[in-house]
Amino acid sequence: MSEMSVEARDWLHAADDDVLACRGAGRHGFDKLRRNRPMTNTHTMPVLGSRNGVVMIVQTCPDCRMVERTMVTAPRGSIDLPAKWRYRVDPRYRSPKGSGVTGRMALAETVRRMDEDGTIAKMSAAASARQPTGAGDGGDDMGSPRAASQAQGGTPVSGVVPGVTFKTP
Ligand SMILES: [Zn+2]
């Protein structure tokens, strides 16, 4: 963090939560295209003067709502490979040129805010409430093959993984 530029620090502190979320994740939450599914953040627009099912597919990121991408289909709805999405980005999504803002910095700022406003504390309390045995002393046992096997009513797994034996309690 010591190498963070002043521009980066200022931009991160002023950035919208939703912008940081997308930058921190390294991707936008565009709809995946699937037939017969309602897609609230995807629509099509007719392409002026075109026929035969040529449309422009328009998608907006539901998370930051600052990035839109479009693609024009070929006749009869096919995609003219290697067609690419064209992106339109709200200037507020962009950090200043040369400021060196990275996705990790955005993620770090998000976590810092979550800590500051008590979001992390709330999440931890909720997790503890779900685990009566208490977190950190074997409460995460459901992730082990033995626990999974017992949860399904099976017998304890032994020797499934070469060199690893799961002891019964
Ligand atoms: Zn986004």
Cα of 16 to ligand 1 centre, how many Å?
11
First to last CA, the chain: 45
Peptide bond into 82 cis (omega under 30): yes
Cα of 61 to ligand 1 centre, how many Å?
5
What does the pLDDT look like over 25-48, one tens digit per residue? 999 999 999 999 889 999 999 888
For residue 127, CA distances in Å to 94, 117, 134, 138 come to 35, 18, 9, 14
| pTM for the full predicted model | 0.69
- Tell me: pLDDT of 52 over 90: no
Cα of 149 to ligand 1 centre, how many Å?
39
- Tell me: pLDDT of 141 over 70: no
- Tell me: pLDDT of 151 over 60: no
